[in-house]
Amino acid sequence: MSLKVNLRLLEKESIELDGDILGSELAPDFLDELMRLSHPVEYELTVERQSDSLLVTGSLRSHVDCECSRCLKSFVLPVRVDEFSTLAPLEGEEALPVDGDFADLTPVVREDILLALPTNPLCGPDCRGLKPKGQPRELQVREQAEPNTAWSALDNLKL
């Protein structure tokens, strides 16, 4: 459950961590109209100490509840990050949160899983979007604004 590593133990050897963390715990501030991190994120990590940083390698696996950005259908998207490798500093502005002897790897996992999410989720590569009901809205709007242009365009098509 915990994504914390003991820095003292890391001085002697690398540490392997595996488990899962709730999406809501991993990224409580994540807000997206089309995606929800409602499933646990499974992680398998190896952590090595490298002077002032931790080298974190491993893989992540989860599912994300999505709404298709074209047709608005709900679907579950599997998300995998294979063999990522991140050098996380222990000092400076970007430093990992450290509490006593423990460093918290949550930011590393969060960043890698968020990077793996699509910008515009699609239910499938061939999604054609919403089926038009009657006239597409775009055309209706254009007709109201420029009736002559729209009709002459249609006339040209018929020729």
User: Given the rule CB under 5 A, which residues bind Zn ion?
Assistant: 68, 70-71, 73, 123, 127
Min CB(61)–Zn ion separation in Å: 24
Between CA 53 and CA 139 the distance in angstroms is 57
Rank residues 67 and 143 by Cβ distance to Zn ion and give the closer one: 67
Min CB(125)–Zn ion separation in Å: 10
Burial 50-59 (b: 16+ CB within 10 A, else e): eeebbebebe
Between CA 55 and CA 66 the distance in angstroms is 32
Q: What does the DSSP 8-state code read for residue 96?
A: P
Our CA angle for 21, 18, 7, nearest 5°, is 95
Rank residues 72 and 154 by Cβ distance to Zn ion and give the closer one: 72
**DSSP reduced 3-state for 76:** strand
Rank residues 58 and 121 by Cβ distance to Zn ion and give the closer one: 121
Rank residues 65 and 111 by Cβ distance to Zn ion and give the closer one: 65
- DSSP bridge partners of 21: 41
Min CB(119)–Zn ion separation in Å: 15
Distances (CA, A) of 151 to 114, 134, 144: 46, 16, 11
